[in-house]
Amino acid sequence: MSDSEPIDADSQYETSFTKEMKFGFSNYAKYVISDRAIPDARDGLKPVHRRILWAMNQIGLGPRSPFKKCARIFGEVTGKYHPHAGGVYESLVRLAQDWSLRYPLVQPQGNFGSIDGLPPAAMRYTEARLNRISLELMENISERVVEFIDNFDGEEREPTVLPVKIPHLLLNGSYGIAVGISSNIPPHHLNELMSACIAIIDDPQISVDDLMTHVTAPDFPTGGTIIGLSGIRSLYLTGRGSMRIRSKIHLETNETHKVSPSRLVVTEIPYLQNKATIITQISKLIDDNSLRGVMDVRDLSKEDIRIEIDIDEQYADDLGVKTILGQLYKKTNLDTLFHSRMTAFVYGRPMTLTLKKALAVFLDFRETTIRNITQEELDKVAARIHILEGLIIASDHIDAVIALIRASESRSAAHTNLKDKYALSDIQAKAVLDMTLARLARVEQTALVDELETKNADKARLMMILHDRPTLLELMRNEFEDIKKKHSDKRRTNLVEMDDVLTSSERPILHRRNLLITSTGEGYLRALDYTKFKTQGRGGRGVIGVPLGTDEKLFDMMIASNMDDLLLITHNGIIHLIPAYEIPEAKSRTNKGKTIKRFLPVEGSIVKVVNIEHDQFVKEKVLVTITKNGVIKRTTLDKYANIRRTGIKCLNLRGEDEVVDAFVTDGNSFIFIASKKGQAVVFDETKARAMGRVAGGVRGMRLRVGDEVVSSFAIPKDQLDQTSILTVTERGYGKRTILTKYRFTNRGVRGVINMKIREKNGDVVISMPMPIVAGSSNISLVNSDGVLIKVRVKGIRNMGRSTMGVRVMRIVGDQKLLMATSIVDENVEILEQAEIDLEDPIDDGEEDEFEVLEDSNDIEEAE
């Protein structure tokens, strides 16, 4: 319209500006909230993401199909379902980024951007297809299962929600800012969510605190560490909460590096943080001299994140490292706050959801979806049963039916005649007329009867699901268990249960060093730098290494990293937890250490110290405990994730039995148990099922009167043919025997000869695994006078089982060898070759003593 043209008076009207703004902005706000920014609580998706997945499904882009250009996907989405072209490609890219989504829904091919903030390539260069987990969001989708609506031009149909089998709202989380409302939902671990859903099915009245035993914390795709529980608990109780996320950093040293032998290495960063921005922040601090002790920073990331921060040697001690970390956490995005608000649409209304409410909405929707799927299947089965009944009637009167059809003047007449004579419906009569001549065979007639029986059974099963809710809930439960197995993976984000952010840098970052940990009968626990001991040849006398009182026992001696957690297990089956670095290091070899009661309220003797990597209490690993009487118990490590300061029970002992050994396995290893009188048994650890924390265990080895278990360990299945068994006795004799010379048996047997026991060599003290090619492995042995010797293993040759071995440590007078442990040293210094025993080892042949223990003799207690 030109300026000179008059305005039509009929198109003009007077109105309130306030009224028009209120009306227009309300509509705009409603549109932005419901159609753009806030996800649906049922499937956890915004409309654009739902339309992308639906369009890809419609053009057959499954996990096994060839990739298609993103431009093709973009055209399908914008042309049929989503008219707002501006954000479609960006949304598709985010669905494929493994640093944005905990479980990416799209498989990318090409440049889809980076965690440095670099943009993706143009859509004409990139390709994509659905990821495997996306199938769990769209299986059984149809207009009878979920609601469908017309698309924007009325030519296509699209779902308003996907029939998801997983609580996707919490799985991948969501982020969006609308008008007057926002949502920021963190991602979570799939197995934990599925376990929580099962827990709600089992107990609908379950509390949020109990749910948090399943869903411990968010699980971010970039890993990191969450500091403190209070923010997480607030989030799960109220739907709102904040949590601090820290990068994972460790200290590395390289003595050959002339400029900076020590460096901090960042391997994980907080969620939604730009790696390039973090490096820029650190570089600027270095340039401004605002970061004391830091010399340089560089990005060596490839597939995984690796940021190296060189530090001045003056700051390479514990205090200096803590100071640098404090500055980095305060001044850079290596430490951030994640503010969360779990807002989503619940049946058309925006709501802030608690953890239980979010899961309950999903479970309610899944139950409705299963009912719809079942009803659809039931209708199909009923329709087929109806047709089969008609076909069987015709089959039973086949000659008369053929005659009737031949006598009919037309198909419609035959249709009418069949209905009238045999009381068939229109559908049945049509099916009879459509029967081929081949269906007249007797075999085909029998097949119709068999199919009818099968369909009737299917109908009864489907009816049971629809009309018996416990059956439906059991179906859901099994579905969730299957999903856990299918998509199982490990948590990426750790949780530190401390709210004091200033003092919690997870753990002090130290130079990784090997410590010799000893536990004695008088309750002393000691850590000593293992490099204080020099290696000698076998047969030597050693040096004072473990000061012992008169007749004092040495319960355990082992090598652990100062970065490990130590499980301290008492003779009466109580387990305590202490970080290795918290044990004060002895200044010299003659220092006894500190009594354990200065650290923990321990009741009983610490008979075993087990080292595990920090925060690795996972279900995939198993703690195995062995008693003096040969009882074995396996319990997954996750059962010990929350050990109280006063300890928790790990084994229910019988009579005067007591714990003698414990170790951690991968859950699929072989167990070797050695007895004092020279017997040994080797069996698959799965022969002893995993039990609860306070169960009593089952028999692992049958013992003769006067015999007892002295040691045990696990051997991974992939190392069976690479392992030899090193056994030492109380008179200082030892030998190595290739593991394959031992017969693998069931648990609960006496086993085979491990070593010939005579007065000359004495009872067995310990057996331990060693590589067949010993390399730089060495062992440390301690006698009853506290004298320790460190010996190269390759000086102890492999020989048969039924031998007495050779002298490894010279034992004189009333001395006895008490304990031995092993380690692989990278740099071993041989001081001298001490005198050795030149006797040939005694070999009495390979006699086996093998006796199966019947299952009726197992000593197993209920959990």
Catalytic residue numbers read: 125
Report the relative pairing of strands 787-792 and 535-536 from DSSP bridges: parallel
Pick the closest to residue 187 from 230, 214, 217, 212 (CA basis): 217
Report the relative pairing of strands 631-636 and 648-649 from DSSP bridges: unpaired
3-state helix, strand, coil in the chain (%, to 5): 30, 25, 40
> Quick check: 709 and 673 in contact, CB under 8 A?
yes
Element (H, E) at 309: strand 307-311
The CA–CA distances, whole Å, from 281 to 153, 330, 331, 380, 856 equal 49, 11, 8, 63, 68
- Checking 448-452 for CB contacts under 8 A at 24+ apart, the result is 448/388, 448/391, 448/392, 448/395, 449/392, 451/388, 452/385, 452/388, 452/389, 452/392
Which residues pair with residue 624 across a beta bridge? 634, 663
> Quick check: 185 and 169 in contact, CB under 8 A?
yes
The CA–CA distances, whole Å, from 479 to 31, 195, 482 equal 36, 12, 5
Could you give the CA distance from residue 763 to residue 678 in angstroms, rounded to a whole number? Answer: 7
Which residues pair with residue 343 across a beta bridge? 352
Pick the closest to residue 137 from 128, 146, 126, 148 (CA basis): 146
The one-character DSSP state at 830 is B
Could you give the CA distance from residue 291 to residue 323 in angstroms, rounded to a whole number? Answer: 10
Q: 609 φ, ψ to 5°?
A: -120, 120
> Quick check: 580 and 565 in contact, CB under 8 A?
yes
Could you give the CA distance from residue 73 to residue 79 in angstroms, rounded to a whole number? Answer: 10
The CA–CA distances, whole Å, from 302 to 310, 329, 402, 444, 750 equal 19, 24, 75, 63, 53
Strands (E) located in 320-461: 335-341, 343-346, 349-352
Tokens in use for 735? 């030998």
Sheet-wide strand order for 752-753: 709-716, 669-675, 679-684, 752-753
Helix axes 355-396, 398-407, angle to 10 degrees: 80
What is the separation of C-alpha 771 from the centre of its chain, rounded to a whole number of angstroms?
29
In the block, tokens 């009333």 appear at: 814
